[in-house]
Amino acid sequence: MNRDELQDHISRVSDEQFTRSSGPGGQNVNKLNTRVTLRVPLTALPLSEQEVSQLRDRLGNRVNAEGELIIHASETRSRETNRVRALQRATDLIENALQVPQHRRPTRPGRAARERRLHEKRLIGRRKRDRSRPAED
């Protein structure tokens, strides 16, 4: 499923709530409901059970007990802009959580890296040695 299909599906199954945003507001303070809370039920998405459990594991506390992904957006003073941002953020989160991380092959440091480390180690040791009192003869 590509990004546009996922975003379209999220917009169809999600529930939007608009509440008052926090912060300074000037003359329109406490009048406009511009903050968006987007609730996306993970089981309503066209995903396998394995993918849904993977989403629950990776998204952690963003998923509530009912299995809904909760997204808040209140960055702008426009309700529509906040709604679009919440939808994009939900799409990004779901896309990133479904990607399988690449397996890292362990490597060893090369000869030059080992030599740099040992050279730096000698310099630090010399600096510490020079800080101490000179030996009394």
Q: How far apart are the first and last CA of the chain?
A: 80
> How large a percentage of the chain has pLDDT more than 90?
40
Q: What is the pLDDT of residues 9-50, one digit of tens each?
A: 888 888 888 888 776 666 666 677 888 999 999 888 888 899
Place of tokens 């995903």: 47
- Give the separation between CA 60 and CA 55, rounded to whole angstroms: 8
Strand partners, 71: 38
Mean pLDDT of 108-132: 96
25 DSSP 8-state letter: -
Domain coordinates of the chain in residue numbers? 3-98
Q: Which amino acid is at 61?
A: N
Q: Which fold has domain 3-98?
A: Double Stranded RNA Binding Domain (3.30.160)
pLDDT value of position 126? 94
Q: What is the pLDDT of residues 49-94, one digit of tens each?
A: 998 898 889 888 888 999 899 999 988 888 899 999 999 999 999 9
The pTM (predicted TM-score) of the whole model is 0.69
- Give the separation between CA 45 and CA 16, rounded to whole angstroms: 16
Give the C-alpha distances (Å, rounded to integers) separating 86 from 75, 83, 133: 10, 5, 63
Closest C-alpha among 6, 14, 3 to residue 39: 14
pLDDT band with cut points at 50, 70 and 90 for residue 1: confident
